[in-house]
Amino acid sequence: MDACYQIDDTSQIISPGMIIFKDLLEDNLRKMIELIGDPSRLRPHCKTHKMREIIQLELSLGILKHKAATFAEAEMLADTGGKDICLAYNLVGPNIARAVEFRKRWPDVSLQVTADHPGPIELLGEAMSAAGLEIEVLLDLNTGQNRTGLPPGENAVELYQMIANTPGLIAAGLHAYDGQNHQVDINEREIAVKEVWNNVSRLRDQLVTEGLPVPRIVAGATGSFPIFAGIDDPDIEVCPGTCVLHDVGYGELFPDLKFTPAALVLTRVISRPDAERITFDLGYKAIASDPAMENRCRFPDLPDAKPVLQNEEHLVVLSERAADFQPGDELLAIPRHVCPTSALHKSVTVVSGGKVVDHWNVAARDRYITV
């Protein structure tokens, strides 16, 4: 095992358990700032980790803008001292009332939400006006992922005009997530991202020409982070997420990004059914199961491990070294997808310099805290 993943004493760590290697985490944060140059241009997404302590580290480094996907994450950010929060999720149903409650609870926090349809825009405006409040709204754009948002064009102009004209709402800019840009080749990715930017910037310019304010463009993802970071436009706020903790998946997809996995899962052998098989306590309640079963994690100290079965509490692998393992032996696993993995753990063990130094709650893993 690489020395950076040394843990001197694991005897009190319950497995399967997520381990945050704090030194690597802090190094990833510094690399984020080095890549962007100015932390005021960063708006990292907290969905990857959902932890107050990581937000505190970001704030201490001058990262003052943040992005969230749930009200629980937004509440965690506000409670931790975040004053500029983008909740990048279109509000419907009870979430409209939750937005009102949030604005009442944290009146000094700039909360921006996203929208892409007249119905929720109208309902949100009515709710805010009835409460004597206002809320900032970003127009959600479809940059090619075809998940949410309007494509840049006349319909987008009309909807942004509606936001600007709706009492209770403040037209606060554009949201342009491009999670579809997973080109391994950095040059191909740059071409795709700059096409996205050209479309978004033309829309911004049209809106400004028509007298509408566009104070920010919340743009990008981890893959497009280095490209957006290199675009000289003061309105761009770049939104990396996964690279804070990093994982196997993005390490393979984006080899140009020199971040290091900082969140691993400690697992123990619970059975060795035969000379070729090892069974770990690493089921899909401990590590994200959205990747294909054979690719859900990587064992740095058992690189030939081939997963052949995973259930809720078990992972069975084939390995030529299986006979070397006994029940109780330990390994560290790097998740392929760290964001949903962190949400599977109530708390994490924090290691620095090989020592267990703390335990952090995954505070926003639930959908609801108090708002």
Q: What is the pLDDT of residues 159-216, one digit of tens each?
A: 999 999 999 999 999 999 999 999 999 999 999 999 999 999 999 999 999 999 999 9
Contacts of 60 (CB under 8 A, 6+ apart): none
Q: What is the pTM of this model?
A: 0.97
What integer is the mean pLDDT of 110-134?
A: 98
CATH architecture of 83-239: Alpha-Beta Barrel (3.20)
Percent of the chain with pLDDT over 90: 99
Q: How confident is the model at residue 43 (pLDDT cuts 50, 70, 90)?
A: very high
- Check whether 103 has a pLDDT greater than 90: yes
pLDDT of residue 278: 98
Cα 330 to Cα 325: distance, rounded to the nearest angstrom: 9
Greatest Cα pair distance in the chain? 72
Separation between Cα atoms, residue 77 and residue 67, nearest integer Å: 9
Mapping DSSP onto H, E and C, the string for the chain reads CCHHHCCCCCCCCCCCEEEEEHHHHHHHHHHHHHHHCCHHHECCEHHHCCCHHHHHHHHHCCCCEEEECCHHHHHHHHHCCCCEEEEEEECCCHHHHHHHHHHHHCCCCEEEEEECCHHHHHHHHHHHHHCCCCEEEEEEECCCCCCCCECCCHHHHHHHHHHHHCCCEEEEEEEECCCCCCCCCHHHHHHHHHHHHHHHHHHHHHHHHCCCCCCCEEECCCCCHHHHHCCCCCCEEECCCHHHCCCHHHHHHCCCCCCCCCEEEEEEEEEEEECCEEEECCCCCCCCCCCCHHHCEECCCCCCCEEEEECCCCEEEECCCHHHCCCCCEEEEEECCHHHHHCCCCEEEEEECCEEEEEEECCCCCCCCCC
- Say what the pLDDT of residue 88 is: 98
Whether the CA torsion 249, 289, 56, 12 is positive or negative: it is negative
Under a CB-based contact definition with an 8 Å cutoff, are residues 319 and 299 in contact?
no
At 1 the pLDDT is 72
The answer to whether 342 and 48 are in contact (CB under 8 A) is yes
Establish how many alpha carbons lie within 13 A of residue 186's alpha carbon, considering only the half-sphere containing its beta carbon: 10
**What band does 2 get if pLDDT is binned at 50, 70 and 90?**
confident
Bridge partners, 349 (sequence order): 19, 359
pLDDT in tens, 234-274: 999 999 999 999 999 999 999 999 999 999 999 999 999 99
How do the domains of the chain map onto residue ranges? Answer: 3-16+259-361, 83-239
User: Rounded to whole angstroms, how far apart are CA atoms 247 and 309?
Assistant: 22
Q: Give which of 251, 209, 226, 231 is closest to 217, Cα–Cα.
A: 231
**Nearest of 365, 339, 239 to residue 287 by alpha carbon:** 339
What is d(CA 261, CA 6) in angstroms, rounded to the nearest whole number? 14
Residue 11 pLDDT exceeds 90: yes
Spell out the CATH class of 3-16+259-361: mainly beta
User: Is 83-239 the same fold as 3-16+259-361?
Assistant: no
pLDDT of residue 38: 96
| Per-residue model confidence (pLDDT) at position 285 | 98
Structural tokens at position 241:
């997420």
The CA–CA distances, whole Å, from 181 to 140, 220, 256, 324 equal: 17, 9, 14, 42
Instruction: For 264-307, write each residue's pLDDT tens digit.
Output: 999 999 999 999 999 999 999 999 999 999 999 999 999 999 99
For helices 71-79 and 52-60, the axis angle rounded to 10 degrees is 50
| Encoded tokens for 57 | 């580290």
- The β-bridge relationship of strands 277-280 and 315-318 is antiparallel
Report the pLDDT value the prediction gives residue 156, as an integer from 0 to 100.
98
Provide the pairing of β-strand 263-274 with 330-335.
antiparallel
